[in-house]
Amino acid sequence: MTTSLFGRKWTTVDFVLIVVTAALYAVALITLAQIKIIPQVPIRPANALQPVFGILFGIPGCLGLGFGNLVSDLLQGSAAPHILITGFVSNFLGGFIGFLAVSHPGLKTVRSYIQYYLFVVLFASAVVACAILVNVGLGFTPMEVASMFIPVVFLNQAIATGILGPILLKLLYPFVRRTGLYRGRAVSTPYGRGYGS
């Protein structure tokens, strides 16, 4: 499944993908950060890029998400070390869970849709939202703050990934595959496992 991806030799393209996805994610986070329905609570539609970059670009995409969030936090003044570390890890996991769980990157099967909504929209959103509990455990964040923060982050994550994620995957997967940039899971085809259609 993923062993060939973890074991394969990285090329210059992989490192370029880290830089490009990090830059795109950071720009999206910064430029879309002011979208709010509830006062003081950003919607973060850029979170939809987490499963997209993870599923399409594999580990390079996941690393790009972590570094992109790091850049965004630094530029927006959230420079406390525990926030930077938790943000990097939670954004990496937001892409990595989709990379591991979704069997077809173009969501062309019922199975891949179920995997996407179960593991990306529900499970990954919960993981990202609950990452703040690490800071609670380390004594950096009061539990009262975390208990208010977790539901908001979960909803932001689930809404963005649930609505925008599938649209972006369906639009981008054919292009990414044609250009040879696909670094996700091998896709099951009638002819065996490959990077098929």
Q: How far apart, in Å, are the Cα atoms of 189 and each of 7, 56, 108, 110, 179?
A: 22, 17, 12, 15, 19
Q: What is the mean pLDDT of residues 18-30?
A: 95
Tell me how far apart the alpha carbons of residues 139 and 141 are, in angstroms, rounded to a whole number: 6
Residue 111: pLDDT band with limits 50, 70, 90 = very high
Predicted confidence (pLDDT) per residue in 33-72, tens digit? 766 555 555 667 899 999 999 999 999 999 999 999 999 9
Q: Are 56 and 184 in contact (CB under 8 A)?
A: yes
pLDDT at 194 over 80: no
Amino acid of residue 111: R
What is residue 136's predicted lDDT score, i.e. its pLDDT?
86
Q: What is the pLDDT of residue 3?
A: 38
Top CATH class of 3-186 equals: mainly alpha
Q: What b-and-e string marks burial along 108-118, b requiring 16 or more CB atoms within 10 Å of the CB?
A: beeebeebbbe
Confidence of residue 179 (pLDDT cuts 50, 70, 90): very high
- How distant, in Å, are the alpha carbons of 135, 138, 149 from that of 146? 9, 13, 5
Residue 99 near residue 58 (C-beta atoms within 8 A): yes
Of 15, 124, 104, nearest to 56 by C-alpha is: 104
Kindly list the domain boundaries of the chain, sorted by start residue.
3-186
Structure-block tokens of residue 185: 């899971």
Give yes or no for residue 21 having a pLDDT over 50.
yes
